[in-house]
Structure 1
């Protein structure tokens, strides 16, 4: 009888801990509302739009004057909030602090963040890190947070979601993968889940010992690509993370570089941030294919005689370009906290010279590039053009990056050029003055990469 009571008590405590973080966010939202008057005063310029199906086609419109000062004020407010939330978490979880993550060896452990937006080639570039055996790579883990923690659009709530993303990122970089359990739906049982988003895009989650024996009757929505594995064991994944020499993570859900300052300054992390950008005309052309249903307005407007394009659509595009531009300008200014920790990369440069850019990124990260990655790049950048699906990482990269010029109407290209001109000038994307110039391959729309970009 005593053993049964003990098991019941143990099960109760596990369930209590499992839902603790989720409850904390509920408490947090209440506190946020109480402090909303202050937060709204400094963040009412920030906007948030609905997410894309496999990414985020949204923009946080930057506050005037770069918004850095207002963000610092917000950070102070949210620091007080996080202290309260942490106390509640410790109380509900039994008063234990998260375990420190020991390094895997004598060398420095690097933490690489690939920061991008949807349809910029981030999945392809992420494979440069995914294919290296000594790197633990995670593909879009913040997808779960976006689907679980709901913030109303606009103002302080948009900032709140970004801060939640950042704090989850910090825990993931410390190999605390358990942080995801409160956001995965259905909630994992016994640290097992068949619902880890795009598990097959992370080699580290599909290799031994993380790949456990296949279970026939368990449906895994995002299964491993090249082998059959049982449901993901979060404990085994966390242990594998700690054993790897380095950690890399790709996300399209962090929009403003200044939010990452606490991560860069965390003494437990050795952060390297790679911001990936792409010609916004190419991005729109790609999104209209990948997220077709969300761009019906654009398609109708591009047709002759259709109703005018709504201003809020253009404003969303402009806000997206501006948030990317402001982050890049901050990174290129190289403030003290970012010195040696930020690199700006154009997708077009990667497509033209994938191995060269991979070597530059690895050199920046302070990680030795292995023949394993070089071989993958050689095999996966010469694929036939018709073999690449919308989410494929196999590309004839030297041809693929300009394909958009023949799929987007000049009318739409003009809208993008008008809305995103400052960002396009910064990133070296030339404007097309006519439909003929847009489709003329002999006229390059790409300026050479400024030497100052390469760290």
Structure 2
């Protein structure tokens, strides 16, 4: 009798334990089913693995300031010095955007300093390099350039080591160099700047501390979540300006500069190597056209990261939104004066006629672009915007529109539903954000 009773109790205990183990799976399956049923689009999905964690960090900051929007904003706006990061990706027009700040006499500007990380640690994948990228920004915004020693190797750390130094108005102007005057507006003459004496990096640090605004332009921050810890640090007072561009125009420009972008595209693709989908993208079918395959495949990941950024900003607390500005390349080059005032107002800078004339001249040049992919020069704004319509095939356009559909929708870019024989003059204009 006791044995039977023990067996009954044992069966009940096992059944109860099994039920407890089963409940989480049932609930998880139900949640996933509801999510699948509620998704409205079937092409590009919001693949944002770090989004929930990043937003939680942001709201955690608000809790520390007792949920006060004013207090959260004051943490970032109380200081006189402003640090700005121009958040972009390759071939979006970020060099032109950065040059507008490089020209301003109140701005200390750096062009792609994280290039040193990617070159020194190649072929490290882009994702694993994000920590090093954030650490470098953390040091540079404090005018501590000793972080560059990690990537200098046997080279002496001087002004000539800084990537893009021959285009830098601070390095190529007095007191560091007599080649230019800091107040003069115009592109730096690289040949004249190349003759400048190499100065110790500590002299550049001293100059950095004199400026009320520091701007760093980069394309090697994969997504906005990487910058969240820096935005929360009141000692840095970081603000973000993010530049977007029509994905079809970006793709066209990337293909035009394919050879210069192969290494970076491989590093971006390797950051997603755990996914079967992206493993396929890493193995181009046509080996004779490998550069095109890598550059094209990376475009999909770029749109994924853009979507992640848009979702993070949409769900962010008010203090972050006040420290974040979204800019479209098309608006910047078609309406340069309006956008210039918006950019400088956000950055606590004042515009003036000479700089406004510079912006207008840079957007009213001749042709689509120069033969050198990263050369800053005057362009024909309209040709730069719509060149993809003449240069991409129907298949290429459809491919980009398929895997960038949600990003295009959120940014206001309409799909090219017309027959390609239709004149580009009859094409629908870009919608506003």
Residue 73 to residue 343, structure 1, CA distance change in 2 (3 Å): closer
- d(CA) in 2 for partners of 1:313, 1:371: 40
User: 1:339 and 1:379 mapped to 2: Cα distance?
Assistant: 32
Q: Which secondary structure state, in structure 1, belongs to the residue aligned with residue 322 of structure 2?
A: coil
Match of 1:400 among 379, 384, 391: 384
Task: Give the secondary structure class of the aligned counterpart of 1:339.
Answer: helix
Give the drift of 1:107. 7.4
> Per-residue CA shift, 1:53-88, capped at 9, x if unaligned?
xxxxxxxx999554234569999xxxxxxxxxxxxx
**Per-residue deviation, 1:226:** 4.4
Q: Distance in 1 between matches of 2:107 and 2:391?
A: 37
Alignment of 1:290-439 (within 5 A): 290-292=257-259, 294=262, 316-385=298-367, 388-389=370-371, 390=373, 391-436=375-420
CA shift at 1:134, angstroms? 0.9
Cα distance, 1:323–1:386 mapped onto 2, change above 3 Å: closer
Q: In structure 2, how many angstroms separate the alpha carbons of the residues matched to 1:311 and 1:422?
A: 23
Residue matched to 1:286: 253
2:142 to 156, 174, 185: 174
State the TM-score, normalizing by the size of structure 1: 0.66
Gaps of 5+ in 1: 1-60, 76-105, 214-221, 450-455
Give the alignment of 1:123-142 within 5 angstroms.
123-142=95-114
Q: Return closer, same or farther for 1:398/1:356 CA change in 2, 3 Å cut-off.
A: farther
Distance 2:316 2:232 in 1: 14
Residue 314 of structure 1: CA displacement? 6.4
* Aligned position for 2:50: 67
Structure 1 residues 361 and 313: CA distance shift in structure 2, 3 A: closer
For each residue in 1:22-69, what CA deviation from the matched residue of structure 2 results, as whole angstroms up to 9, or x when unmatched? xxxxxxxxxxxxxxxxxxxxxxxxxxxxxxxxxxxxxxx999554234
Q: Which residue of 2 aligns with 1:100?
A: none
- Kindly indicate whether the alpha-carbon contact (under 8 Å) linking 2:51 and 2:312 is maintained by their aligned counterparts in 1: no
Q: Which runs of 5+ in 2 are unaligned?
A: 1-43, 59-77, 180-187, 266-280
Other-structure match for 1:47:
none
Q: Partners of 2:117 and 2:45 in 1: how far apart?
A: 22
From 108, 111, 114, the counterpart of 2:80? 108
Distance 1:382 1:72, change over 3 A: closer
Question: Displacement of 1:434 after TM fit?
Answer: 4.2
Query: SS at 1:255's partner residue?
Result: coil
- 1:199 is aligned to 165
Bigger Rg over Cα: 2
Q: CA deviation at 1:177?
A: 1.6
In the superposition, the TM-score normalised over structure 2's length comes to 0.69
Residue 380 to residue 307, structure 1, CA distance change in 2 (3 Å)? closer
The equivalent residue for 1:162 is 130
Q: How far did 1:307 drift?
A: 9.7
In the alignment, is the contact (CA less than 8 A) between 1:140 and 1:251 conserved in 2? Answer: yes
Q: How does 1:33-52 map to 2 (within 5 A)?
A: none
How far apart in 1 are the matches of 2:190 and 2:122?
A: 29
Distance 1:186 1:212 in 2: 28
| Shift, 1:164, TM fit | 1.1
Match of 1:243, SS state, is coil
Q: SS at the partner of 2:344?
A: helix
Picking from 131, 141, 145, the partner of 2:117 is 145
Q: What RMSD in Å do the two structures reach over aligned CA positions?
A: 3.6
Aligned partners of 1:71, 1:350: CA distance in 2, in Å? 29
CA distance in 2, matches of 1:337, 1:392: 34
Deviation of the 1:404 alpha carbon: 2.3
Give the distance between the partners of 1:225 and 1:132, measured in 2 at CA: 21
Name the residue aligned to 1:261: 228
Deviation of 1:374 after TM superposition, in Å, equals 1.4
How far is 1:121 from its partner? 0.2
| Cα pair 1:114 1:276 within 8 Å, conserved | yes
Q: Work out whether 1:235 is the aligned partner of 2:189.
A: no
SS at match of 2:365: coil
CA offsets, 1:165-212, max 9 Å, x none?
Answer: 011101111111221122135431xx4363332112221121112227
Q: 1:318 to 1:234 in 2, by over 3 A?
A: same
In structure 2, relative to structure 1, the CA distance for the partners of 1:357 and 1:437 (3 Å cut) is farther
Cα distance change on mapping 1:170 and 1:223 into 2, 3 Å:
farther
Aligned equivalents of 1:289 and 1:169: distance in 2? 30
Output the CA distance in 1 between the equivalents of 2:430 and 2:80.
37
SS across alignment from 2:425: coil
Distance 1:340 1:121, change over 3 A: same
Whole-Å separation in 1 of the counterparts to 2:289 and 2:154: 43
How many residue pairs match? The answer is 339
Q: Which moved more, 1:377-386 or 1:283-292?
A: 377-386
Superposed CA deviations along residues 382-439 of structure 1, whole A, max 9, x for unmatched, are 2222774432331222442212221111211111111111111111111112442775
